[in-house]
Amino acid sequence: MTIVRLGYVAMSVHVKNCSPSQTMTFSQFSKIDSREAAIAKLERIARSNIENCLRLLKHNLAHDIQFFRLSSRLIPLATHEEVADWDYLAAVSETLEELGRFANKHTMRLDFHPDHFNVINTPNEKVFKDTIKGLRYHQKLVHGLGMDNTHRLVLHVGGLYNDKSAALERFISNWSLVPKDIQSMIMLENDDKSFSLGDTLYLGEKLGVPVVFDLHHQMANHAEDEQWENEWQRVIDTWSHSPLPIKMHISSPKSEKDFRAHADLINPEIFFHFLETIKGSVPQLDCMIEAKKKDEALFQLMEDVKKVSHFEVIDGASFKVL
């Protein structure tokens, strides 16, 4: 038996006017005559984003959803060099603490997926420094939530730079320059173009980093002789030192022609076949739904779950595979 817990990403299609990613560009910031007024506006937007996250978590609680990815864009311009003197964390600390208290009270698992420009294996020193700055921003948010920061950030391996082997080894080399407290936050995910599950496991095993298995990415990008079924135990083993249940991503191809793009909903046939294959291998599996229709995709998938005789529904967002 395996317990499956479903989550979704950042925004709801059911909760209206609740974006956690309202923003302000630096161009807009610069056009405000008073810097003090510009900073005040940034702070209002940031607090509104976090308040909207709390609304989303309350919506999630009503539907038994305990797994959620927070937007990385909670605080606009937080890492921009022109506002480096702005203590953004102090400005949102009370709002962030309230969000964290709610999540912790209801034992919700929250994490982030930093944007694609956070690249550890880059050969460019400035890009690497900016990456560390971006990861530090996420760390401050997790600390502000009052949560243990262990394994809260999902990253892709990075760029190929025309030489996969060199890119993998550069990740290992650059990893030694990543501060230890940030290293402890990171999980690695296989991607849909460059680094397959096997590539990602190579790094995860070598560096002691959990691997987040993305089934859709595996379908789009794998070596000819690579079958995920043969690598699943290796994925599990990368989580052996984590305090959190193993995590994976699920999405479905939009179409055969546009295979890498995410569909509105989850194809239950593909996902259920996966669950039949791995049932009993882990006690719990947290599945992050990456679908265009967000929480609606989760609700629809739970309706599909109810139709399977050997799945036992626990609540509105979790079930047992018997």
Q: What percent of the chain has pLDDT over 70?
A: 100
pLDDT given at position 92? 97
Per-residue pLDDT of 26-67, as tens digits, reads 999 999 999 999 999 999 999 999 999 999 999 999 999 999
pLDDT given at position 224? 84
Comparing 288 with 223, the larger pLDDT belongs to: 288
- Let me know: does 210 contact 187? Beta carbons within 8 Å: yes
What is the average per-residue pLDDT within 179-200?
97
Band (pLDDT 50/70/90 cuts) for residue 188 is very high
198 C-beta neighbours (distance < 10 Å), count: 17
| pTM score, whole prediction | 0.96
- Is the pLDDT confidence value at 292 over 90? yes
pLDDT given at position 235? 98
pLDDT given at position 225? 84
Nearest to 277 by CA among 215, 319, 200: 215
Per-residue pLDDT of 65-103, as tens digits, reads 999 999 999 999 999 999 999 999 999 999 999 999 999
pLDDT given at position 274? 98
Nearest to 321 by CA among 291, 259, 276: 276
pLDDT given at position 270? 95
- Let me know: does 188 contact 211? Beta carbons within 8 Å: yes
Per-residue pLDDT of 128-167, as tens digits, reads 999 999 999 999 999 999 999 999 999 999 999 999 999 9
Band (pLDDT 50/70/90 cuts) for residue 223 is confident
On average, the pLDDT of the chain sits at 97
CATH number of 2-15+110-321: 3.20.20.150
